[in-house]
Amino acid sequence: MLKKIFIVLFSLICIVSCGEEQSSDQQITEQQSPSDNKASQSTSQKFHAPRSWDNIKRSGYIRALKLAWEDENHLPRSGSTSLFHRQLLTDFAEFHQLNVQWVMVDSIKQMFDALDKFEADIIPRHLTVTEQRDQRVAFTDKLAQDTEVVIGRAEAKPLTKDEIVTVHLPEGTSYVDSIKQLSANWNIHYLKKSLSADDLADRIAQKAIDFSVLDQSAVDTLLDYRDDIRIVKTLPEQRTQAWALHKHNREFLQKLNDFISAHHVEQSTQVVRTHDLNVIKSKPLTLRMITRNSPETYFLWRGELMGFEYDLMKEFTRQHNIKLDVIVADEYQEMLDLLSSGRGDVIAAAVSRTEQRQQKHNFSIRYNRVSEKIVAHASSNIKTLDDLNGKTISVRQSSAFWHTAQELAKSHGAKVMAADESLSTELLIGQVADQSIELTIADSNLIDIEQSFRDDIIAPITLNENIPYAYMVRDNNPKLLAALNAFIRKEYRQTFYNVVKNKYFANQQRKQKHREQRITEGSNLSPYDPVVQKHARRFQFDWRLITSQMYQESRFNPKAKSHAGAQGLMQVLPRTAKELGYSNLTDPKESIAAGVEYLNWTRDRFSSDLPVEERLYFALAAYNAGYGHVKDAQKLAKKMNLDPNVWFNNVERAMLLLQKPKYYKKTRFGYCRGSEPVNYVRDIHQRYLSYVTIAR
């Protein structure tokens, strides 16, 4: 009955809100961007000439264009991505003590139109330099070079220019000119909006369209995790790529080129090279970090790239004034292959330095040390090594724990079972918690992470202490090794290092155990009900739902701060708040306003054709885990013959699988602790239903 009430309530909200939606044809779509009224007003001002560099400096910000679907980061798996350009412009702005104000549009054509109308200062993306464009805008110095390729379904045959085919292309892209030059026989069908490479591949795989064109680097990234598309033709010319700004903005152009020359490494696709650090810095080139997509190393959360290994390596490259690329590998042997073949420069992936490994490979000094521990279910009576007699320990043969388990079999009568190589240690811990296996072995860092989210496991026995984690480099890179060792000596156990380590491994129960406040009919749900009601009305949300979400996020504590840096009553990340136009997340009014606005933005990312209650469930899940992970779960649900447009018992089931390498290796956004958004939506939903009966 309560669920029916919930659906009816949100159906009514839909009727109210449908008339408020903006047209998708609006050229600069502020509704698609997380920006508040103040930012919207500044980006919608009409100018009659490009802003000079002096005007930009006086205003304190650069107005930059980006496509609406690029609002959230994806998980970079190999080499540079579009994140490279956004970060580079941010670096430029910070160098000149400026901010970046992002203006969202739906297509490349709208980008150039907005630049013509002086509605923005720059297009900072990998735009192909063409003769026609060069007459229209000014381009910076070269930022990248790439090849254009035609893609089709996996079963498609290679194309010839004499065939008659239809290619779907976004209007205004350089691909249109390329196809016209290649073959007069090919028909071009224009897409109204620019799509991400992943969405374009989806349309091809689902047979909505047959062929399209992308840059080779974008397709290389797709092929890292997809097998339903392929390259059917490579276009003959390599294309130069650069940023665009108005032709008359000469001083701004000079400032950009000076910065590119002094600070920038030219973006390139992944190539084989074995240069030492001195060459990487002098050219300059990127440092390519080889790692795993896991909660210890490198992952995506709410659009933020995170991980202990990633944060340390970012600081190392910052100190050496070079850029960082990330190469994601699935297994230890793959990491070794990438390093030895010259497709990466350093392995930073929580790799233990053992005597056996040191005989074959080149390690740094230790930058972290952990203990090996037995992991058992919370109900287990295991307390000493003697209690292991007859018990089964499940570990992967390829892990450093295999040798330890074998020793326990000899010395204390334990049984050892070889776990599936596709099962991460995190998943083995989950199997212990589910009692589908008896025991496993894990390092203390990962156990700390797991115990922050669950209370059904214990680590009663420490087996080996002071296991060193170290970086791995090639033998012919002594300068890189020396620099890494110097970095470790400087930072190890100092302030920066300790902050980063505590961020990921401090065993603080993130699932707070506070009891719900006792609420009686007619009483306030929270100390902030009037503020919540005001902002909920603005975006057509039921204020009781927002209050339920606020309790879930912070337990009504305005000073709450998460391990990942989210702050305030609604636990918004500072970067997101800044884009929304808010700066003080400890102020309840700002935090609530930012959280409600961000929830509205996540809701707008999902189709308005969805039932209103389903759209809200997806929005809540995206608020918690990030839009990209929810999108991955929808795709996975469809493959599993579940309904991708229904959350409970459908997409939520797929969401739980995104912790397993078998599934997340084949997704765009990678690893996700799926149990978090699943529990998050369920808890908010249940609390909301109880609030409905109390506060009317």
The 3-class SS string of 452-463 reads HHCCCEEEEEEE
Q: Which of 294-303, 471-480, 650-659, 667-676 has the lowest mean pLDDT?
A: 294-303
Phi–psi pair at 57, nearest 5 degrees: -65, -45
d(CA 158, CA 161): 10
pLDDT digits 0-9 by tens, 640-688: 999 999 999 899 999 999 988 889 888 888 889 888 899 899 889 988 8
Q: What is the pLDDT of residue 304?
A: 75
Pick the CATH number of 32-73+83-142+244-263 from 3.40.50.970, 3.10.560.10, 3.30.1490.20, 3.40.190.10: 3.40.190.10
Cα 654 to Cα 150, 206, 616, 643: the distances in Å are 31, 19, 18, 10
With bands split at pLDDT 50, 70 and 90, how would you rate the model's confidence at 47? low
Q: Which of 30-44, 625-639, 672-686 has the lowest mean pLDDT?
A: 30-44
With bands split at pLDDT 50, 70 and 90, how would you rate the model's confidence at 264? low
Mean predicted confidence (pLDDT) in 633-637: 94
Asked if 673 contacts 453 with a C-beta cutoff of 8 angstroms, the reply is yes
Question: Long-range pairs for 310-316 at CB < 8 Å and ≥24 separation?
Answer: 310/348, 311/500, 311/503, 312/348, 312/367, 312/491, 312/497, 312/500, 313/287, 313/289, 313/346, 313/348, 315/487, 315/491, 315/496, 315/500, 316/287, 316/483, 316/484, 316/487
Structure tokens that stand for 378 in this block = 């919370």
Q: What is the pLDDT of residue 185?
A: 87
Structure tokens that stand for 486 in this block = 């110097």
| Beta-sheet pairing, 144-153 with 229-245 | antiparallel
With bands split at pLDDT 50, 70 and 90, how would you rate the model's confidence at 263? low
Count the Cβ atoms, other than its own, within 10 Å of residue 221: 25
Q: What letters, b where the CB count within 10 A reaches 16 and e where it falls short, cover 159-191?
A: beeeeebebbbbebbbbbebbeebbeebeeeeb
Q: Which of 33-47, 283-297, 549-563 has the lowest mean pLDDT?
A: 33-47
Q: What is the pLDDT of residue 158?
A: 93
Cα 416 to Cα 159, 391, 434, 436: the distances in Å are 53, 8, 19, 15
Q: What is the pLDDT of residue 19?
A: 34
Q: What is the pLDDT of residue 45?
A: 55
d(CA 682, CA 382): 34
Q: Which residue spans within 263-323 are E strands per DSSP?
A: 287-291, 299-301, 304-306
More confident residue, 520 or 187: 187
Q: What is the pLDDT of residue 452?
A: 78
Q: What is the pLDDT of residue 88?
A: 86
pLDDT of 265 > 80? The answer is no
Q: What is the pLDDT of residue 32?
A: 36
Residue 460 preceded by cis peptide, ω within 30:
no
> In 3D, which of 327, 344, 312, 317 has the Cα closest to residue 483?
317
With bands split at pLDDT 50, 70 and 90, how would you rate the model's confidence at 77? low
| Beta-sheet pairing, 299-301 with 287-291 | unpaired
Mean predicted confidence (pLDDT) in 613-635: 94
Note the CATH architecture for domain 145-242.
3-Layer(aba) Sandwich (3.40)
Mean predicted confidence (pLDDT) in 543-549: 94
Q: Could you give the count of Cα atoms lying within 13 Å of 544 in the half-sphere of its Cβ?
A: 19
* Fold assignment, 355-505: D-Maltodextrin-Binding Protein; domain 2 (3.40.190)
Q: Who's near 542: CB < 8 A, 6+ residues apart?
A: 9, 10, 13, 536, 688
Residues of the chain within CATH 1.10.530.10 domain(s) are 2-21+514-694
d(CA 72, CA 450): 26
Q: Which of 323-332, 468-477, 569-578 has the lowest mean pLDDT?
A: 323-332
pLDDT digits 0-9 by tens, 123-160: 998 899 998 899 999 999 988 888 999 999 999 999 98
pLDDT of 20 > 70? The answer is no
More confident residue, 659 or 39: 659
pLDDT of 26 > 80? The answer is no
Q: Who's near 184: CB < 8 A, 6+ residues apart?
A: none
Rounded to two decimals, what is the model's pTM?
Answer: 0.66
CA angle 560, 312, 489 (to 5 degrees): 120
With bands split at pLDDT 50, 70 and 90, how would you rate the model's confidence at 81? low
Q: What is the pLDDT of residue 303?
A: 65
Task: State what percent of residues in the chain have pLDDT above 70.
Answer: 87
Residues of the chain within CATH 3.40.190.10 domain(s) are 32-73+83-142+244-263, 145-242, 355-505
More confident residue, 591 or 525: 591
Question: What mean pLDDT is reported for the chain?
Answer: 85
Pick the CATH number of 2-21+514-694 from 3.30.420.10, 3.80.10.10, 1.10.3720.10, 1.10.530.10: 1.10.530.10
Q: What is the pLDDT of residue 74?
A: 56
Structure tokens that stand for 339 in this block = 């390093």
Q: What is the pLDDT of residue 449?
A: 84
Asked if 418 contacts 397 with a C-beta cutoff of 8 angstroms, the reply is yes
Q: What is the pLDDT of residue 517?
A: 44
Structure tokens that stand for 575 in this block = 């970067």
Q: What is the pLDDT of residue 507?
A: 55
With bands split at pLDDT 50, 70 and 90, how would you rate the model's confidence at 486? very high
More confident residue, 257 or 691: 257
Q: What is the pLDDT of residue 78?
A: 58
More confident residue, 581 or 230: 230
**Helix crossing, 2-18 with 612-625: angle to 10°?**
90
Q: What is the pLDDT of residue 316?
A: 97
Q: What is the pLDDT of residue 645?
A: 94
Phi–psi pair at 653, nearest 5 degrees: -65, -40
pLDDT of 506 > 80? The answer is no
Q: What is the pLDDT of residue 294?
A: 84
Q: What is the total residue count of the chain?
A: 696
Mean predicted confidence (pLDDT) in 463-480: 94
Q: Which of 80-94, 314-328, 634-648 has the lowest mean pLDDT?
A: 80-94
Asked if 627 contacts 668 with a C-beta cutoff of 8 angstroms, the reply is no
Task: State what percent of residues in the chain have pLDDT above 90.
Answer: 53
CA angle 252, 31, 175 (to 5 degrees): 60
> In 3D, which of 8, 79, 653 has the Cα closest to residue 327?
79
pLDDT of 8 > 60? The answer is no
More confident residue, 441 or 453: 441
**Cα end-to-end span (Å), the chain:** 17
pLDDT of 280 > 70? The answer is yes
> In 3D, which of 466, 458, 451, 467 has the Cα closest to residue 387?
458
